[in-house]
Structure 1
Amino acid sequence: MLLRVTVLTVVLLGLVAFSVLLAKVTLTPSPASEDIVTSNLQPGRSLRQYAEDYTFLAACKQAGGNVLLGVPFGLLLPFLVPRRLRMISMTLLTAAAMVLVELVQGALVTGRAFDIDDVILNTSGALLGYFLLGRRISHSYHARAHTPRAEAVEPEAERKAAGRAAPERTKAKPQAKAGTKTKTGTTKTGTPTRGTTKAKEPVETGARTGSKRGTKARGSSGRPTAGAAQPGSGRALLDRLRRR
């Protein structure tokens, strides 16, 4: 936050100083040129005039001065425009500002007129300043001013997500243990209560009853005699047959 405030303050002060310089250069009356200067709405006409009618040094001074007037736009505006489409935004703002200056020149200032070539040269200077230095320093500023804030938010979100996931894991573990105990308990309690065991109990009971009743009727060999089956009940015989 301190970095952003400091940089923006410096940029605004730079824009104010540059605006004063720009107004002094472009809005100062020039009575000596009142009969010479005419408005130009055709791109390239003034540039051809510089090449044909001016000396080399005078042409460089005239064209180069307009280019240099646009350089501060390429250095300062990237700090104020959003990161997305930064170059396009800076170019459009520079062109709009210079069109406004040229309109004021042609309407209010003596000895000056609107010239579309001046707008082109000023915008070219802004692009030159942007590609030489403005893009690099503005990118570094935006990266340092905005990235730490996003990185500080992401760890907080991760901590909150981890804090929410921890209780869920803690709750899930007791549930898994309870399910294991339930299955074990079911196995242990269900083992003696199976249907086959229940079916065997009456058979064994009947067999024991039949054996007790048929003990007297058995011979020395242990086999039941024919008469031994008569005193026994039909249920005992059925149990003996099932047992065999």
Structure 2
Amino acid sequence: MARTALRPRAGFRLRTAKSDKPPRPPESARTERAEKPAKPGGAARRVRPARASRPADRERRPLPWPLRVLAMLCAFAFMVAFAVVLARLTLEPSPASESLTHTNLNPGDSLRAYLDQPELRDAARQIGGNLVLGIPFGVLVPVLAPGTRGILRVLLLTAIVMLMVEFAQGALVTGRAFDVDDVILNTTGALVGYLLLGRRLSRAVHS
């Protein structure tokens, strides 16, 4: 009987082993500990504020459809008027200047001839006039044909049209000749028109 009384029970040993572990703190204590600020010597974690949305990231409001139709009609009317003016300036015969005109296939020859003129006004008229003739292409073509938006497409289309005009001048019109420098100046004018107004106007109409 004495030996049986001194022997510890298995259940009592298991309960003693479990009681050796520290009790688990309740959920509220863990939450308070997590919310405590960091120690002065430790590195504090900074929370970056959310960035404010920039105005450029906002979606652009498209124009109402009546304004789009009106813009397309105005662009078409200006394009027709420009075509008439272009035909009058480039395809109208000039018998008086027949002996003065000659075909130019070397880029830069006509430009040097324009700049060598004694009157600066004449040089400005020749160079500026060809530049101005190309500006409507850069402004109106992207509006009328959305598929041509982009600098390379506008320049390519302008160069093709002006090459056709110059070929018609040299082959069919009296007193006119093909000049590659005119094509270069017209294409440069189209680039200026596209960068200044054509790109923005096309986005406003077709966005």
Distance 1:36 1:20 in 2: 25
1:77-111 Cα distance to aligned partner (Å, 9 max, x none):
11133367522211111111111111111011111
Structure 2 counterpart of 1:80? 144
1:51 equivalenced with 2:115 (yes/no): yes
1:62 pairs, out of 120, 126, 129, with 126
Deviation at 1:55, TM superposition (A): 2.0
1:7 pairs, out of 62, 71, 74, with 71
Structure 1 residues 102-113: aligned runs within 5 Å: 102-113=166-177
Structure 1 counterpart of 2:195? 131
Summarize the Cα distance change of 1:33–1:84 in structure 2 as closer, same or farther, 3 Å threshold: closer
1:101 equivalenced with 2:165 (yes/no): yes
Distance 2:107 2:166 in 1: 14
Q: Is the 8 A contact 2:142 2:149 kept in 1?
A: no
Which ranges in structure 2 are unaligned for 5 or more consecutive residues?
Answer: 1-64
Deviation at 1:32, TM superposition (A): 1.4
Q: Which runs of 4+ in 1 moved over 4 A?
A: none
Q: Is the 8 A contact 2:135 2:193 kept in 1?
A: yes
Over the aligned positions, Cα root-mean-square deviation in angstroms equals 1.6
Structure 1 residues 199-210: aligned runs within 5 Å: none
Distance 1:135 1:113 in 2: 33
Q: Is the 8 A contact 1:29 1:112 kept in 2?
A: yes
Distance 2:118 2:75 in 1: 37
Of Structure 1 and Structure 2, the greater helix share is in 1
Distance 2:182 2:119 in 1: 18
Summarize the Cα distance change of 1:111–1:83 in structure 2 as closer, same or farther, 3 Å threshold: closer
Number of residue-to-residue matches in the alignment: 143
Task: Name the % identity.
Answer: 53
1:165-186 Cα distance to aligned partner (Å, 9 max, x none):
xxxxxxxxxxxxxxxxxxxxxx
Q: Which amino acid aligns with 2:192?
A: L
Structure 1 residues 151-166: aligned runs within 5 Å: none
2:153 pairs, out of 89, 97, 101, with 89
1:142 equivalenced with 2:206 (yes/no): yes
Between stretches 91-100 and 131-140, larger displacement belongs to 131-140
Distance 1:54 1:115 in 2: 21
Structure 1 counterpart of 2:98? 34
SS at match of 2:146: coil
Structure 1 counterpart of 2:80? 16
Q: TM-score, with normalisation over the residues of structure 1?
A: 0.55
Summarize the Cα distance change of 1:110–1:138 in structure 2 as closer, same or farther, 3 Å threshold: same
Q: TM-score, with normalisation over the residues of structure 2?
A: 0.65
Distance 1:39 1:52 in 2: 18
1:112-165 Cα distance to aligned partner (Å, 9 max, x none):
10000000001111111111111122222222xxxxxxxxxxxxxxxxxxxxxx
Where relative contact order (Cα < 8 A, 6+ residues apart) is larger, the structure is 2
Which ranges in structure 1 are unaligned for 5 or more consecutive residues?
Answer: 144-244
